[in-house]
Amino acid sequence: METKIVFITGASSGIGEGCARKFASQGWNLILNARTVSKLEKLKSELEAANGVQVYILPFDVRDRKQAALALETLPEKWKSIDVLVNNAGLVIGVDKEFEGNLDEWDVVIDTNIKALLAMTRLVVPGMVERGRGHIINIGSIAGDAAYPGGSVYCATKAAVKALSDGLRIDLVDTPLRVTNIKPGMVETNFTVVRYRGDRQAADNFYKGIRPLTGDDIAETVYFAASAPAHIQIAEVLLMPTYQATGTISYKKKEE
């Protein structure tokens, strides 16, 4: 049986790294994207040695459309038949009120969470349509379901991910391609440190009293969707830690 190829953006940490480990453990070859070459090279060596798979690294900033296009155009022929695209790269900076935030930071968030996802979709999906097979898995968020204090712009970007996922599914309805939107609740990764602008203590405090999900937990769900039989399209999955009910309601045990 031919080995399948998964392309993961933002693969050097968190959910992206978890997905890389999960797919590699199941014998998939991987194309891994992130900005930090050293992290990608380390992950490549580790996954190839542990799983006997092949890993191709594509280091570029997903916000740079020209760089992304060039990277994909110059992929060796045997790597161009991408079976699964995991649009994982995403971030949030700050917890500011909408009328007090930093416009430059918002540009980074919008360019990464929406425009880069669109660019990667535009660059990869036509090949899937041509080959008659493929699966696009977008990492959304519970934040896309309802706004919460200090997160209006981020919530808007994840609402956009839902709309873009739904719209792409409609556009591809006459093809065998599948589209999935994975919407995690609380996940403890470096994502939260970036949200608090590098304040690790604030990030740690956010999870005190509750066991959050991990990048590996989300990866299990991503792989579940990708490995479903071809006639099953898992359109959307909302997953949260036990003790979390919505984006704003959770129960955190007080420390003794």
CB-based contact 62:109 (threshold 8 Å): no
Cα gap 43→33, rounded to integer Å:
11
Amino acid letter at 110? I
Nearest CA among 61, 67, 59, 1 for reference residue 28: 1
Cα gap 116→30, rounded to integer Å:
20
The strand pair at 135-139 and 29-34 is best described as unpaired
Nearest CA among 94, 179, 96 for reference residue 140: 179
Q: Which of 4, 44, 158, 183 is catalytic?
A: 158
SS3 per residue for 133-145:
CCEEEEECCHHHC
CB-based contact 91:112 (threshold 8 Å): yes
Q: Which positions ≥6 away from 209 have C-beta within 8 Å?
A: 251, 252, 253, 254, 255
C-alpha distance across the termini of the chain, in Å: 55
82-to-64, 124, 138 alpha-carbon distances in Å: 21, 8, 15
Active site residue 154: yes
Q: Which of 154, 183, 196, 223 is catalytic?
A: 154
- So which residues are the catalytic ones? 154, 158
